[in-house]
Amino acid sequence: LAKTTQPISMDSYEGQEVNITCSHNNIATNDYITWYQQFPSQGPRFIIQGYKTKVTNEVASLFIPADRKSSTLSLPRVSLSDTAVYYCLVADDKIIFGKGTRLHILP
């Protein structure tokens, strides 16, 4: 079971680009990398998933280097409403959540 390591917390300002990096040194060949977002008093919500290189959707971008031992979630031009906990997961048969990164956006 691949384990992920990500910063406990981060602060940023409105309008900035935020990059959250996650380490997953023991990722298996078949594993995908998935990120979830959780707002207070809500369940986690899927943001983005990727296998290698770069994936982009309307919410975020995900950068995965060739060795796949890490990944970076990029949130462009954050707003106060992006304040949340962000979880990096390496998906296998059961999705295990770590403690996540608590992102706090300041005005």
Q: Given the rule CB under 8 A, which residues bind another protein?
A: 32, 34, 41-46, 49, 87, 91, 93-100
Closest approach of another protein to the CB of residue 42, in Å: 7
**How remote is the C-alpha of 51 from its chain's centroid?**
13
Please, are residues 91 and 32 in contact by the beta-carbon 8 Å criterion? yes
Other Cβ atoms less than 10 A from the Cβ of 20: the count is: 21
CB of 4 to another protein, least distance (A): 12
Looking at the Cβ atoms of 23 and 49, the one nearer to another protein is 49
Q: Which is nearer to another protein, 93 or 107 (CB)?
A: 93
The CA angle 64-65-71, to the nearest 5 degrees, is 40
The distance of closest approach from Cβ of residue 86 to another protein in the complex, given in angstroms and rounded to an integer, is: 12
